[in-house]
């Protein structure tokens, strides 16, 4: 298992993009940073291993595996996560990587889609995301994604919930300050799926969004909703050029 020095250098590189944008890593304690930097201390790597295993496993009636079409994932999936959310021709809509995996299952493997936050789904998206570790976020420029970009930008600035906060209120206006004793990060989704210490397990960016929405006492959007895909795309634009850290560790 690689890790060690390479991962340490990666942490240093990911923390600052030189234009004032900082990864969530920069807001964590040194101990949590060390946990992410060491591939042998990072429980997210179990999801990568499990994802690699599932990649070879056949699914559904088709008897096809991911490898059957995509070959060696460690090679063919390089840079893929960096370009998501992307435009899906067949459904004429924006999809994130989670939705893409399920679309592959239903369309090409004749298998049932996996439910939100299912460990197998997280293992696959972590495995795929990990193949982009060290690369820069490069949002899909497809002009057909414009409606989602606009929706995401608007949602990010919309006050929500009983506490009446927008994402921007915390993550733009107050990043670096503290909320209930903990630092507020800038909210760049560079390491998803993450191992969140609070969950004691892996989780997607949408799970994290739901935590924020509960945090402001708002009704969370549903998993897979247009709102969440739009927010994911907006965050990808906002973090364009920042380095991917999947699987990240976060408090």
Partner 1 sequence: MTIAASRRRVLALGLAAPLMLLCRRAGATPEAMAAAIEAFTGGGTPAETGITLDIPLLVENGNSVPITVSVESAMTEEDHVEEIAVFNEANPLPDVVRVRLTPRSGLGRFQTRIRLAGSQTIIAVARMSDGSLRRAAVSVIVTAPACRES
Partner 2 sequence: MATAMVNIPETAAPGEIVEIKILISHPMETGFRPGMDGKLLPRDIIRSLRCEYDGEIVFTAELHPAIAANPFFVFHLRADRSGEITLVWADEKGNEFRQSGQITVG
**Residues near partner 2 (CB under 8 A):** 1, 39-43, 45-46, 49, 200-201
In the complex, minimum distance from the CB of residue 251 to partner 1, in angstroms, rounded to a whole number = 4
Q: Which is nearer to partner 2, 34 or 67 (CB)?
A: 34
C-beta separation of 65 from 59 below 8 A: yes
Question: Is residue 96 exposed (0-12), middle (13-18) or buried (19+ Cβ within 10 Å)?
Answer: buried
User: Residue 155 binds which one of partner 1, partner 2, none, with CB within 5 to 8 A depending on kind?
Assistant: none
Q: In this chain, which of 34, 49, 93, 111 binds partner 1, going by CB under 8 A?
A: 34
CB burial of 27-58 (b: ≥16 within 10 Å; e: otherwise) equals bbeeebbbbbbbbeebebbebbebbbebbeee
The DSSP 8-state label assigned to residue 193 in this structure reads S
Q: Which is nearer to partner 2, 11 or 235 (CB)?
A: 11
As a whole number of angstroms, the distance between CA 58 and CA 37 comes to 33
Q: Which is nearer to partner 1, 28 or 80 (CB)?
A: 28
- Contact string (CB under 8 A) for partner 1, positions 226-245, x = contact: --------------------
Q: Point out which residues pair with 2 in neighbouring strands.
A: none
The yes-or-no answer on residue 212 being catalytic is yes
User: Residue 113 binds which one of partner 2, partner 1, none, with CB within 5 to 8 A depending on kind?
Assistant: none
Q: Which of positions 35-64 make contact with partner 1 (CB under 8 A)?
A: 35
Angle at 229 between CA 225 and CA 235, to 5 degrees: 145
| Among 179, 163, 166, 170, residue whose Cα is nearest residue 217 | 163
Query: What is the SS3 assignment for 179?
Result: strand
Q: Which is nearer to partner 2, 139 or 203 (CB)?
A: 203
The total of other beta-carbon atoms located within 10 Å of residue 25's CB is: 25
Q: Which of positions 159-218 make contact with partner 1 (CB under 8 A)?
A: 163, 179-182, 197-200, 210-212, 214-215
Relative to beta strand 86-88, strand 93-95 is: antiparallel
Q: Which is nearer to partner 1, 34 or 111 (CB)?
A: 34
As a whole number of angstroms, the distance between CA 124 and CA 162 comes to 36
User: Residue 6 binds which one of partner 1, partner 2, none, with CB within 5 to 8 A depending on kind?
Assistant: none
User: Residue 201 binds which one of partner 2, partner 1, none, with CB within 5 to 8 A depending on kind?
Assistant: partner 2
User: Residue 215 binds which one of partner 1, partner 2, none, with CB within 5 to 8 A depending on kind?
Assistant: partner 1
C-beta separation of 239 from 137 below 8 A: yes
In the complex, minimum distance from the CB of residue 118 to partner 1, in angstroms, rounded to a whole number = 17
Residues identified as active-site: 212
Residues found near partner 1 in the complex (CB under 8 A): 28-29, 31-32, 34-35, 163, 179-182, 197-200, 210-212, 214-215, 251
């Amino acid at each position: 298992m690689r890790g060690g020095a390479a991962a340490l250098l990666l942490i240093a590189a990911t923390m600052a993009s030189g234009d004032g944008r900082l990864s969530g890593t920069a807001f964590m304690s040194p101990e949590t940073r060390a946990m992410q930097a060491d591939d042998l201390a990072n429980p997210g790597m179990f999801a990568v291993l499990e994802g690699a295993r599932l990649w070879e496993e056949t699914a559904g009636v088709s008897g096809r595996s991911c490898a059957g079409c995509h070959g060696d994932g460690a090679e063919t999936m390089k840079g893929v996560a960096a370009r998501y959310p992307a435009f899906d021709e067949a459904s004429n809509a924006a999809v994130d990587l989670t939705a893409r995996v399920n679309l592959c299952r239903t369309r090409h493997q004749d298998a049932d889609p996996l439910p939100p936050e299912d460990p197998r789904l997280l293992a696959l998206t972590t495995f795929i995301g990990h193949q982009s570790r060290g690369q820069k976020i490069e949002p899909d420029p497809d002009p057909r994604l414009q409606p989602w970009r606009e929706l995401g930008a608007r949602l990010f600035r919309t006050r929500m919930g009983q506490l009446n906060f927008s994402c921007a209120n915390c993550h733009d206006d107050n990043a670096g300050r503290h909320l209930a004793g903990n630092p507020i990060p800038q909210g760049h989704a560079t390491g998803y799926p993450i191992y969140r210490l609070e969950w004691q397990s892996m989780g997607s960016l949408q799970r994290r969004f739901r935590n924020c929405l509960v945090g402001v006492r708002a009704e969370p959007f549903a998993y897979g909703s247009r709102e969440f895909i739009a927010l994911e795309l907006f965050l990808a634009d906002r973090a364009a050029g920042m380095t991917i850290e999947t699987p990240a560790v976060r408090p």
